[in-house]
Structure 1
Amino acid sequence: MSLVAGRGPISADPLGWFVPPLAAEVAFVEPHPRRVQGIRAGHAVIDTEAVLLVHRRGHPLGYAFRSDEVGDLPTQPLPEAAGFVTVPWTAVDAWYEEGRRLVHYPPNPYHRVDCRPTRRRLRVSVGEVVLVDTDETVILFETSLEPRLYVSPAHVRTEVLAPSSTTSYCNYKGTAAYWSLAGEGRSTADIAWSYPDPLPESAGIAGHLSFDATKVDVVADLPSGVSSPPCGCG
């Protein structure tokens, strides 16, 4: 969802700026030449390669299909492309793109994940208890999102962590497992997560942990960058 999510270029809070500025109501529609299937009750009710991707401010990334290829599914016309309609994500039981089952939204061709070994320091603590203090980290750059530091469990006091039942899924990193603090006289749920078996583009963080700064004290040496338009141009 990189154009419309996070701080993407047509999100509600873009990191960069356009000159001249874009209109408040903006959409980018493009051909998406991949086979997309929508499965309901075990049958493909959509099976087509005539697909559009719709990037619209204030909305998640979505598909649009020719109106004669969606059967009796609920639809809305796509104003930007005559003869095309959108279908609610929940109108089918499962979506597939070229054989890969999708979760939450289509994968975005503009979304990229880069995992780079770095010497950026990460310190994680709970009160006086230090869980991590190392500069042997991996920095994850993900389009439209803030960079994150991940660390090998070899540098974590894993003896005070316990696996959680919580999981989550990312179309670019895979299924995350969570860890809770369960030692030192404290108990805090889901303070960290890791991707035991990440998707290929995120292989560089396999098994590494990242920490939730809303639940523990995190000091991370992250890039500062440029935070506002120079010369008053945006």
Structure 2
Amino acid sequence: MPVFPTERSVRTTPEGLLWEPSERWVRGVKGDVTVVDSRHPVLVWEPGLPVPCYAFPRAEVRTDLLRPAAHPEPGSHTGSQIFYDLRTDGQQVENAAWTFPAADLADHIAFEWFRRWGSGLDHWYEEEEEIFVHPRDPHKRVDAMPSSRHVRVEIGGTVVGDSHRPVLLFETGLPTRYYLPPEDVRLDLFEPTDHRTGCPYKGRARYWTWRGAGEVPRNIAWSYAEPLPAVAPVKGLVAFYNEAVDITVDGERLERPVTPFTSALKP
């Protein structure tokens, strides 16, 4: 039987991995098959990646569905030793899982998350809640707070949003996002797009693109029609990327921040 760590603290391996035991019940499903059913998962942070992944004790993984990868991807994960293809219900997912060389994690298998790198299982659950994109980081906090601040948003000198009733969303490691009621946004200057994203903390978002002149990134504004309960105050409100628009709060122009989204925000 594997020995499961119980101390709740972040640990470091010689390879530069950070890991921490979790007490959450985590399940991963492919089609109708439960591939992972774990009550002793471990969160692992790889160097240079802002979000964690899960690794699971072998005893809590359907290892009978895993085969050594036909086309392994060395270097795609920190010091990864063995990659596995997943075969179930006549389907094969290449490089769906891997192991870390760290001695602390020697008896664990990590999995790609659905839509994280374009491969993995279909659904992941923590307890009875489905989690999207990547596991939630227990050291990250997201707060949505109604405010009476005066927020003005401009694109190329044109005011596209002006509100005294924003909701401010504070998310660890990211700039404050300002969500405005749609009545306070010039949505007539934008057109909706088919772009959609998912966030494990907020839910699924839809987007709008600027119709005016200038070099403005596509999908510059977004909204959550049905946000997760933790950020319910942003429901139906509209936010803009601080990295690519000009935002003034209570008369003070904010500097455009540099974030992990900056490089992707191209006209």
Which secondary structure state, in structure 2, belongs to the residue aligned with residue 50 of structure 1? coil
Aligned length: 203
Q: Which residue of 2 aligns with 1:195?
A: 224
What is the aligned counterpart of 1:113 among 131, 139, 142?
A: 142
Separation in 2, partners of 1:222, 1:202: 26
Show CA shifts across 1:23-61 (max 9, x none): 996443222122212222420121121211113332330
Structure 1 segment 1-234 matched on structure 2, within 5 A: 26-59=16-49, 60-70=51-61, 71=63, 72-73=65-66, 74=84, 75-77=98-100, 79=102, 80-89=104-113, 90-182=119-211, 189-213=218-242, 215-220=244-249, 221=252
Separation in 1, partners of 2:146, 2:243: 25
Which secondary structure state, in structure 1, belongs to the residue aligned with residue 232 of structure 2? helix
Q: Which runs of 5 or more structure 1 residues have no equivalent in the other structure?
A: 1-9, 11-21, 225-234
Q: Which runs of 5 or more structure 2 residues have no equivalent in the other structure?
A: 1-9, 67-83, 85-97, 114-118, 256-267
Q: Note the aligned Cα RMSD (angstroms).
A: 3.1
TM-score by length of 1: 0.73
Residues 127, 48 of structure 1: alpha-carbon distance in 2 compared, 3 angstrom cutoff: closer
Which secondary structure state, in structure 1, belongs to the residue aligned with residue 105 of structure 2? coil
Structure 1 contact 36–49 (Cα < 8 Å) conserved: yes
Structure 2 contact 247–253 (Cα < 8 Å) conserved: no
Q: Which residue of 2 aligns with 1:3?
A: none
Structure 1 contact 77–83 (Cα < 8 Å) conserved: no
Higher relative contact order (Cα pairs below 8 Å, separated by 6+ residues)? 1
TM-score by length of 2: 0.65
Residues 88, 122 of structure 1: alpha-carbon distance in 2 compared, 3 angstrom cutoff: same
Identity of aligned residues (%): 33
